[in-house]
Copies of this chain bind each other. A is one copy, B any other.
């Protein structure tokens, strides 16, 4: 398992270190978008002594290397990160527990074309996130 992380890091042109393996480990057992703070806390909890700024640097680097995705969480006013799973397009995020469901189908490409034509913009991308409450969290509401 540790080897997997090593290989994964290597593929992305990154050295394997205790901290990076730890971050990878945490993200991979996580179905939520997690904040830097959460990752940091989880690292400490599993005995990996790291610095806050290291976690920032790792997550930033991972994002740059397309290993993770950086998402602004409007309800928190800060960024969250999650492993980038191939083939995903958009996300459904639980407002309570931050669980994330990847939505494979993107309904927007036709829409983008239509808008591009109407507005004469060059459209280079979009943000789409759905928000709601997951089956567990919606029970308690």
State the A residues within 8 Å of B (CB).
72, 74, 92, 94-95, 101, 103, 107-108, 111-112, 115-116, 119-135, 138, 141
Task: Specify which of B72, B112, B122, B135 is in contact with A121 (CB 8 Å cutoff).
Answer: B135
Task: Specify which of B111, B112, B122, B129 is in contact with A126 (CB 8 Å cutoff).
Answer: B129
Copies of this protein in the complex? 2
What are 21 pairs between A and B in contact, CB < 8 Å? A72-B72, A94-B121, A95-B124, A103-B115, A107-B107, A107-B111, A121-B130, A121-B132, A121-B134, A121-B135, A122-B132, A122-B141, A123-B130, A123-B131, A124-B131, A125-B132, A126-B128, A126-B129, A127-B128, A127-B129, A128-B128
Q: How far is the CB of A105 from chain B (nearest CB, A)?
A: 8
For A120, list chain B residues within 8 Å (CB). 134-135
